[in-house]
Structure 1
């Protein structure tokens, strides 16, 4: 297919994706929120309640991260670091993993991450939110919560994985001949 024809067709696909995202946005607004418990999570400074993570915001993003052993979750978190200020201007934002708080801090410091982290280690939080498989493995995703008259309501969630809308790396690679191919993220490159 000629370049001009292909780019026109790709633009049409992108327009359809944008229209579908608008439909999804409307559906999202119509979801009946799910009340959740005020979980106790861990930080290097001690326990913190889910309700405290909102700070002065009404909305809270919780990133379900598989921890320092996952190269993919690390790549996503590296990207969140770049948009953290933008996200935090609208809603509270925290990354939550099964790693112990001290291990989280060491890893976050080594990556230069600026966002807050909490540990759900020894809690049912990840499982209750649907981000722990029956075999015990943790799964990546995002839960969004809203404060509502003293209650914590989950208003949306989605899983994460290669090609999703939350990691631009895949979308850049989609523009290359052969896409990502057999590429996989690494903790360090050379």
Structure 2
């Protein structure tokens, strides 16, 4: 939970006209950023793709081909959840990130699906899914080179990959990791419009703004389990 200091400074108080003028200046930059993001998305849609072999992963009911993860759809988003063998609670960033996604039915209209793949054995992965109240389908790549080939090897970091299915052939179309994941979240955009923002030391803020270590405001995995797991209200 957050351990940031209480603020000792606040935004300056101005008249409405001054506030509107500065908001308009900011809005011009926001609109320029939106247009740039549109252009980036267009370039992403024009990326070439790489044909993949016929990987076999493990699902709740046993071995499953990569093409079957699409569940009949043409597009697939895979989040590679970090996994540390023997850990009671897995990565808090991954656990918190995936806990956001409780209503993914809207992807059906776009012929798409979103699933989780992890290096953990399927029994442990499914138990953890239940423990933290995760809603997405989980698959294991513990006995497959799929995770490593998709830049999420055993002991590695999180990643996100996107795939396209044409018949029974699967192609890799996009990949990101690190802060590239942020644009696929609703938490950071909401926090970033707050006056004090993320309250982390690396941010450019006014003197006296509340700041603390990076990630200090993030839920621990145990918090996610308490809020959304089987014993949650």
8 Å CA contact 1:163–1:171 kept in 2: the answer is no
1:24 is aligned to 40
Give the match's secondary structure for 1:164: helix
TM-score (norm 2): 0.71
Contact kept in structure 1, 2:191 and 2:198, CA below 8 Å: yes
Match of 1:49 in 2: 65
Deviation at 1:162, TM superposition (A): 8.2
Q: Let me know the Cα RMSD of the aligned residues.
A: 2.3
Unpaired segments of 5 or more residues in structure 1? none
Deviation at 1:87, TM superposition (A): 2.3
The offset of 1:137, in angstroms, is 2.9
Alpha-carbon distance in 1 for matches of 2:181, 2:164: 27
Q: State how far apart, in whole Å, the 2-side matches of 1:81 and 1:140 are.
A: 20
In 1, the alpha carbon distance for the partners of 2:21 and 2:189 equals 20
Cα distance per residue 1:50-69 (max 9 Å; x no partner): 01111111111111111451
Whether the aligned pair in 2 keeps the contact of 1:162 and 1:170 (CA below 8 Å) is no
Structure number with larger C-alpha Rg:
2
Partners of 1:162 and 1:170 in 2: CA distance:
12
Matched ranges for 1:112-131 at <5 A: 112-131=133-152
Q: Which sections of structure 2, spanning at least 5 residues, go unmatched?
A: 1-11, 13-17, 84-88, 200-211, 227-233
8 Å contact kept, 2:117–2:140 = yes
Runs (4+) off by over 4 Å: none
Q: 1:72 to 1:5 in 2, by over 3 A?
A: farther
The structure in which a higher percent of residues are strand is 1
How much has 1:73 moved relative to structure 2?
0.5
Structure 2 residue 120 is matched with structure 1 residue 99: yes
